[in-house]
Amino acid sequence: MFKCSHFILIVLSGLVWTVIGVMLMTLGMHHMMDTLRFWDEIVISPSFSLFKSLALVFPRPEQAMAALIIGCILIGYVKGHFVLNKSVRSGVQKILGYPNPAELKNLYTRKYYVLLLFMMCLGFFIRWLKLPGDIHGAIDLAIGSALLKGAFSYFKYAWAEKRGVLAQDK
């Protein structure tokens, strides 16, 4: 089987989180921009909208959208810092528990793959619900920014492993 150093495995895990995070943030921004583009229709719609609620506070729709986007990114960052960092630390410790170099198949556990499958199903479910664009976009932006924060943590651990700092902590 293909073997990689601990450093490479940690970087690969961070890259997976980065790719998914960027993809979700891109989708979220598309939903947000569609919401902004159809502002006139959203204002007269009777359905709930985060964007419409914020537009009552800000004088221009662009300002309301900017506030919504910044809020979602901040929520994601906080979630990434306080929740996903624990998952990252656990993943890194698992990788460091294998002999160096370790097999690529040891990157994630079966439990982790089940979690990924569940998250993908949740994404399809959200799409199936046909939520308003601003709500769907807010969810994608928050999750995407949380994943990017987690990815940066992976890269931080990878850099520490490269310098030999993590090997000394074992």
Each residue of 12-52: pLDDT tens digit? 999 999 999 999 999 999 998 888 887 767 666 777 777 77
The burial of 37, by beta-carbon neighbours within 10 Å (0-12 exposed, 13-18 middle, 19 or more buried), is given as: exposed
Six token digits for residue 32: 């947000």
CB distance 46 to 114 below 8 Å: no
- Cβ contacts of 26 within 8 Å, gap of 6 or more: 144
Provide the CB-side half-sphere exposure for 157 (13 A, CA): 28
Q: How many CB atoms lie within 10 A of CB 46?
A: 4
Whether the Cβ atoms of residue 155 and residue 163 lie closer than 8 Å to each other: no
pLDDT of residue 141: 93
Q: Which residues contact 73 (CB under 8 A, 6 or more apart)?
A: 141, 142, 145
- Distance spanning both ends of the chain, measured CA to CA: 26
Residue 75: pLDDT band with limits 50, 70, 90: very high
Sign of CA dihedral 153, 158, 161, 167: positive
> Taking the model in full, what pTM does it have?
0.84
91 and 156 Cβ atoms separated by less than 8 Å: no
pLDDT band at 170, cuts 50/70/90? very low
- pLDDT for the residue numbered 78: 94
Q: What is the pLDDT of residue 60?
A: 84
137 has a pLDDT exceeding 80: yes
